[in-house]
Amino acid sequence: MATRSVVPFGPQHPVLPEPIHLDLVLEDEKVVEAVPSIGFVHRGLEKLVEKKDFHEYVYVAERICGICSFMHGMGYCEAVERIMKVEVPQRAHYLRTIWCEMSRIHSHLLWLGLLADAFGFESLFMQSWRLREKILDMFEVSTGGRVIFSVNKIGGVRKDMDADMLKSFVALFDGMEKELRILSKTFLNDYAVNSRLQGVGFLTKQQAHDFGAVGPFMRASGIDRDTRKLGYAAYPDLDFEPITSDVGDCYARTQVRIKEIFQSFDLIRQAAAKIPDGEIAVPVKGFPDGEHFMRVEQPRGEAIYYVKANGTKFLDRVRVRTPTFANLPAMLETLKGCQLADVPILILTIDPCISCTER
């Protein structure tokens, strides 16, 4: 009979800069069970809704996560706008879409770098992050910020992008696309990389459904669902289909994310070509009264913003169901049966964001 032992993973681990702990139950080198512990840095951002009025809370929502801060701000704004039946100008919808896709490119490039670092391919890590730096520069040019942008407000956005800026961004994305094609060959074809990713951490389509997986983690197991298809921001005007794979291993998750970066380049080009002239925000008067579940496709998957308002300037409740929170049960399932040495890579391939989870 195999020897059973429990190996702690985290909360400090070289692969994960954020704190999550797993008790890994092993039989020899094989994981048979994983029990998670979270809550090391719970920040109580949802509780802050009692102290900040519904306009001020946009700034809190943006601080849920430093990588998808724009999308958190936008998801919250869209929820309140739908409760208040605010008609956001179409140009603001397009600007939000462009910043959303830039956030996705930034997040996926960051993740690719972390993945390369996790399997010890340092030059690939540096190249991924060098490319990511260009997106951060574009954020700085268009919003003034590199992490927190504060461009969302209830009723639209605070900053515009003129035609010259959009043209220069599209040209920059063309160059980035060429560079990413070279990088992606290494991620997808290199023997050493493939040996760490292929056949590791399978999640079947049925498991992805049953355990509530979301985002690229779910789509890499064959479920073609992408919340952008629900039609918020300017996505109803853009042509795209969810990117999926039927394989369901770590390699498939890498492949899906790389393809999603190329898709984001395309979506930004479409949005830049179609963006209408006009206002970027409308004045919002009164207080929200009602409730709404707003669903947004973040880089890591579907996030749900539940807002309940009572007709005053303070909301009753804001609750954010983040993608990593939804992906944890499916991640625990994929860990069962894997080798101890594969655990860091496997955990990384769900692209966990503990900052979001510890909102």
Partner 1 sequence: MIDGEILTIGPGDLVPHVLQIKHDGYRLIQICATTTKEGYELTYSFGRGYEMAHLRLIVGPHAQIMSISNIYEPAFLYENEITDLFGVPIQLISPDYKGKLYRIEQQTPFK
User: Closest Cα partner for 127 from 180, 49, 48?
Assistant: 180
* Residue 166 or 354 having the CB closest to partner 1: 354
Contacts for 332 with CB less than 8 Å, ≥ 6 apart: 34, 35, 36
Q: Does 336 bind partner 1 (CB under 8 A)?
A: no
Contact residue for partner 1 among 212, 240, 313, 314 (CB under 8 A): 212
User: Closest Cα partner for 227 from 303, 305, 168?
Assistant: 303
Q: Angle of helix 250-274 relative to helix 90-118, nearest 10 degrees?
A: 150
Tell the smallest beta-carbon distance from residue 9 to partner 1 (Å). Answer: 17
Q: Which stretch binds partner 1 (CB under 8 A): 69-77, 169-177, 272-280, 303-311?
A: 303-311
Q: Does 295 bind partner 1 (CB under 8 A)?
A: yes
Tell the smallest beta-carbon distance from residue 292 to partner 1 (Å). Answer: 10
Binders of partner 1: how many residues, by CB under 8 A?
30
Q: Does 316 bind partner 1 (CB under 8 A)?
A: yes
Contact residue for partner 1 among 149, 173, 217, 325 (CB under 8 A): 325
Beta strands at 289-298 and 156-157: parallel, antiparallel or unpaired: unpaired
Residues linked to residue 296 through DSSP beta bridges, in sequence order = 303
* Residue 59 or 306 having the CB closest to partner 1: 306
Q: Does 39 bind partner 1 (CB under 8 A)?
A: yes
User: Closest Cα partner for 6 from 34, 43, 45?
Assistant: 34
* Residue 38 or 281 having the CB closest to partner 1: 38
* Residue 139 or 211 having the CB closest to partner 1: 211
* Residue 76 or 211 having the CB closest to partner 1: 211
- DSSP letter string, 191-242: HHHHHHHTTSS---HHHHHHTT--HHHHHTTT----GGGG--TTGGGS----
Q: Does 217 bind partner 1 (CB under 8 A)?
A: no
User: Closest Cα partner for 217 from 238, 243, 237?
Assistant: 243
Q: Which stretch binds partner 1 (CB under 8 A): 32-40, 194-202, 232-240, 344-352?
A: 32-40
Token pair recorded at residue 20: 């999550």
Type of residue found at 86: V
* Residue 213 or 272 having the CB closest to partner 1: 213
Tell the smallest beta-carbon distance from residue 336 to partner 1 (Å). Answer: 12
Q: Which stretch binds partner 1 (CB under 8 A): 80-88, 170-178, 221-229, 260-268?
A: 221-229
Contacts for 334 with CB less than 8 Å, ≥ 6 apart: 201, 202, 203, 207, 346
> For residues 31 and 18, is the Cβ–Cβ distance under 8 A?
no
Burial class (CB within 10 angstroms; exposed 0-12, middle 13-18, buried 19+) of 278: exposed
Contact residue for partner 1 among 293, 311, 336, 337 (CB under 8 A): 293
Type of residue found at 317: R
Q: Which stretch binds partner 1 (CB under 8 A): 92-100, 149-157, 174-182, 225-233?
A: 225-233
Distance from chain centroid for Cα 57: 20
Tell the smallest beta-carbon distance from residue 227 to partner 1 (Å). Answer: 8
Q: Which stretch binds partner 1 (CB under 8 A): 24-32, 57-65, 105-113, 320-328?
A: 320-328
Buried b / exposed e along 151-169 (16+ C-beta atoms within 10 A) = bbbbbbbeebbeeeebeeb
Rg (the chain; Cα; Å): 20
Q: Does 359 bind partner 1 (CB under 8 A)?
A: no
Q: Which stretch binds partner 1 (CB under 8 A): 81-89, 108-116, 247-255, 324-332?
A: 324-332
**Residues between 229 and 288 with contacts to partner 1, criterion CB under 8 A:** 229-230
Q: Could you list the residues that contact partner 1 (CB under 8 A)? A: 35, 37-40, 42, 44, 47, 209-212, 225, 227, 229-230, 293, 295, 304, 306, 308, 316-317, 319, 321, 325-326, 328-330
